Amino acid sequence: MAVRPLESARMTDRFHLDAVPIRLDGCGKTFPGGARALEPLDLTIRGGETIVFLGPSGCGKTTTLRIIAGLESPDPGGRVLFGDEDVTDLPIERRNVGMVFQSYALFPNMTVAENVAYGLKVRRVGRAERGRRVEEMLDLMHLGEFAGRRIDQLSGGQRQRVALARALVVRPRVLLLDEPLTALDAKLRDSLRLEIDRLLRELGITAVYVTHDQGEAMALGDRIVVMAKGRVAQVGTPREIYYQPADGFVADFIGTMNRVGGTVRDGVLRIGRGSLPWSGPDGPVELLTRPEDIALASGEADAHLDGRIAAAVFLGDRTRLVVEPADGPPLTVDTAGRSDLGRGDRVSLRVDPARLLAVP
Amino acid sequence: MTSLTHRRGWGFWLQLGFTLLVCALLTVPMAMSMLAGLTANYFVGLKSGLTLHWVEEVWRVYAGTILLSLQIAVACLAVTLVVGVPAAYALARRPGRLARLVEELLMMPVAIPGLATALALIVTYGAVGDLRSSWLFILVGHVLFTLPFMVRAVLAVMLSVDLTTLEEGAASLGAGFIRRFRTIVLPNARSGILAGSLMVLTLSVGEFNLTWLLHTPLTKTLPVGLADSYASLRIEIGSAYTLVFFLMIVPSLILLQGLARHGRPSA
């Protein structure tokens, strides 16, 4: 698809991994004591796909990952399949997965190279080939010069790159990442996220990524599984999740969402003093819309709502306004960065009818 | 400022004097005792000359007790390693209330006076076969007494390195339990195992309370022999005996101190 630089194409040949699909069949998890961590879940992850489990803490995303990994077993009746193979009863050490942990889980009693070589040693790969593959993988992750270092001599970002190298060098069937960037500071998080994105695309491996950070989920996921309270709230591409949220929870969890109240009568929706064509049953409605889909009205004629600016935050590329309309909750509105509007100014707003969402 | 750093007030000298006095109070008797073991005739004093005669005499009479003490200490170490390290591992991996309760119970033999433990052992196992007259009977007492120290030392290190996640990492790379234990658990608990081992050796060699009740005339350990010699022989022999005891125990104590200072989980 995308045009890759020559060097990357060569690396891809050497490291390309099998793209194994994963299927979860009715995988629920009840912990001893009766707490339900995960409602029975059915999900197919396509081979080579990067799927991101996204949700607040305690939503069941890590439990799902651990069930796929083999660190937890699903409640009776649940099945985990890698391709055609039922791996439900296999412990993690026999599933051939690669796993990256939030806390790195690097072995402090070994050097960087020894950490990366560990999985190959377990697999009885001969010394010569082991050395070659470790070296290749360290080069791929730009860690060549750190081969002999001890783990405690590395920065957080370097540690997580070692963890990635260690997981990938054994050519796992799937790569599982449990909040791999959470322990890093913001700047490092961005650069390592780009690096992980590049790796996953080039290797073509099936990857499952768990995070509570919607930015990470949007950037990395081919598809995102939004979870809440042990249930799947929505499965979709980042665009689907952002533009067509399945419910109010997803809408509020991903990005910023405005709630606008209006009334429908005879195919016409009235919002404030404006009216739009609208198909739907008559009566009061609550509609959702994104900050970038509300604009400042150019004249009195096309304005829908009036309000007073309660806050104006300059974000460089745009200015984010919080506008308090005459009635209803405050609205967040994105305008041009070079705006000289300020707190207390009165503005007229126009909503984009095509971007209004009715969500259950 | 300058007066504080450059000229020390009378308070400093008072504190220094007091500290030295306390040190002297503790070390002078030790030094006197060791010196007595090297003095030809203690009642005459140092002018009677220094000699190794008494040390040789100790070796002639008490070599058996010294060797038995070493034998028991080594055997005790072996048993506490084989039992204590897996026990600490099990406690480290199960962070439940039951695990903490077991941890507390493990300290019981330390809290109960050695004499009471020894009596209980004699009452319970004294009539079992030839156990009463065997050195193994003393070994049982020593293991009971030292095991908690091994478990505590290893457990503390194991809890500080997040073994659970490390093991999950190793398992994800294909390592089964035995390999994980050998390549991840043991190396990362090394400093704790080392500290525990030295502790066990030191405690076993010096143990008197339990041993005094458990021993027979044929299974005398060094501290029991020491009490014996002080009670019935010349002061020079007892002192020379103490000197031998110090020589055995001080190196391991120094190592222990060194470990406590530099011992980090990854070291």
For B179, the closest of A103, A109, A122 (CB atoms) is: A122
CB contact under 8 A, B173 and A150: no
Query: Does residue A324 fall inside a structural domain?
Result: yes
Q: For residues A52-61, give the mean pLDDT.
A: 92
Residue A181 is given by DSSP the state T
b/e B107-122 (16+ beta carbons within 10 angstroms → b): eebbeeebeebbeebe
Are A217 and A340 found together in one domain?
no
Query: Is residue B264 within 8 angstroms of chain A, CB to CB?
Result: no
**CB contacts < 8 Å between A and B, how many?**
67
Please give the mean pLDDT across all residues of chain A: 88
Q: What is the pLDDT of residues A118-130, one digit of tens each?
A: 999 999 999 999 9
The band of A16, judged by pLDDT with boundaries at 50, 70 and 90, is: low
Q: Hey, is the C-beta of B176 within 8 angstroms of any chain A C-beta?
A: yes
Q: Which residues of B touch A106 (CB under 8 A)?
A: 169
* Statement: residue A258 has pLDDT above 60: yes
**Residues A248 and A330 occupy one common structural domain:** no
Whether residues A188 and A60 share a domain: the answer is yes
A239 and A263 part of one domain: no
pLDDT value of position A1: 39
Query: Which of A103, A108, A170 lies nearest to residue B173, judging by beta carbons?
Result: A170
**Tokens 């992980």 sit at which residue?**
A196
CB contact under 8 A, B266 and A170: no
What backbone torsions phi and psi does residue B158 show, to the nearest 5 degrees?
Answer: -60, -35
B246 to each of B26, B72, B102, how far by Cα in Å?
15, 17, 35
Using CA atoms, how far residue A78 sits from A47, A64, A74, A217, in Å, is: 21, 12, 5, 26
Say yes or no: A50 and A176 in one domain: yes
Residues of A in contact with B158 (CB under 8 A): none
Given a cut of 50, is residue A2 above it in pLDDT?
no
In angstroms, the CA B185 to CA A320 distance is 53
A168 and A134 in contact (C-beta within 8 Å)? Answer: no
Q: Which of A204, A232, A253 is the last residue of a domain?
A: A253
Q: Is there a single domain that holds both residue A245 and residue A302? A: no
Pairwise CA distance, residues A304 & A317, whole Å:
25
Determine contact, residues A220/A252, Cβ cutoff 8 Å: no
Nearest 5°: the CA angle B34, B35, B40 is 120
Q: What pLDDT is attached to residue B260?
A: 66
Residue at A188 is within a domain: yes
How many CB atoms within 10 Å of residue A332?
18
Which tens digits make up the pLDDT trace of A148-162?
A: 999 999 998 899 999
Distance, in Å, from the CA atom of B70 to the CA atom of B81, rounded to the nearest integer, reads 16
Interface test with B, best of A109, A130, A133, A149 (most B CBs within 10 A): A109
- Per-residue pLDDT of A319-347, as tens digits, reads 999 999 887 889 999 998 888 888 888 88
Query: Under an 8 A CB cutoff, do B168 and A71 touch?
Result: yes
Considering its fold, how many domains does chain A have in total? 2
**H or E element that contains A231:** strand A231-236
On the question of pLDDT at A53 being above 90, the answer is: yes
Same domain membership, residue A73 and residue A218? yes
When the candidates are 3.90.1150.10, 3.30.70.1450, 3.20.20.70, 1.10.3720.10, the CATH number that belongs to B61-262 is: 1.10.3720.10
CB contact under 8 A, B171 and A93: yes
Q: Where are the domains of chain B?
A: 1-51, 61-262
- Looking at residue A336, which CATH number applies to its domain? 2.40.50.100
Which CATH number do you get for residue A38? 3.40.50.300
- For the residues of A24-56, what is the DSSP string, one character each? EEEEEEE-TTS-EEEEEEEEEE-TT-EEEEE-S
A34: in domain:
yes
β-bridge partners, A276? A269
pLDDT of residue B4: 52
Q: What percentage of residues in chain A have a pLDDT greater than 70?
A: 95
Q: Domain range for residue A91?
A: 6-96+172-253
- Choosing from A253, A277, A303, the residue where a domain stops is A253
Residue A217 within any structural domain of the chain: yes
| Helix boundaries (H) for chain B | 2-6, 10-38, 53-93, 97-106, 108-111, 114-125, 135-160, 163-172, 177-180, 186-188, 190-206, 209-214, 222-232, 235-262
Please write the tens of the pLDDT for every residue from A286-328. 889 999 999 888 777 788 888 899 999 988 888 999 999 887 8
Report if residue A130 sits inside a domain: no
Residues A178 and A300 in one domain: no
Query: Chain B contacts of A94, Cβ < 8 Å?
Result: 174
Residue A76 lies in a domain: yes
Neighbour order of strands in the sheet with A79-82? A36-45, A22-30, A79-82, A85-86
Residue range A160-175: mean pLDDT, rounded? 93
Residues A266 and A206 in one domain: no
pLDDT at residue A13 tops 80: no
Q: In this complex, is the C-beta atom of A296 within 8 Å of any C-beta atom belonging to chain B?
A: no
Query: Chain A closest CA to B114's CA: distance in Å?
Result: 39
More confident residue, A19 or A114: A114
Co-location of A241 and A311 in the same domain: no
The answer to whether the Cβ–Cβ distance between A167 and B172 falls below 8 Å is yes
- Cα A74 to Cα A18, A37, A211: the distances in Å are 25, 11, 21
Whether pLDDT at A254 is above 70: yes
Tell me the average confidence (pLDDT) per consecutive run of 10 residues in chain B, 267 residues long.
63 92 90 82 76 80 85 94 94 82 79 85 84 86 91 90 92 94 93 90 88 83 83 80 84 78 49
Domain co-membership, A248 together with A262 = no
Among A253, A274, A298, identify where a domain stops. A253
Q: Are residues A336 and A273 in the same domain?
A: yes
| More confident position, A216 or B98 | A216
Task: Give the integer Cα–Cα distance in Å for B160 and A139.
Answer: 32
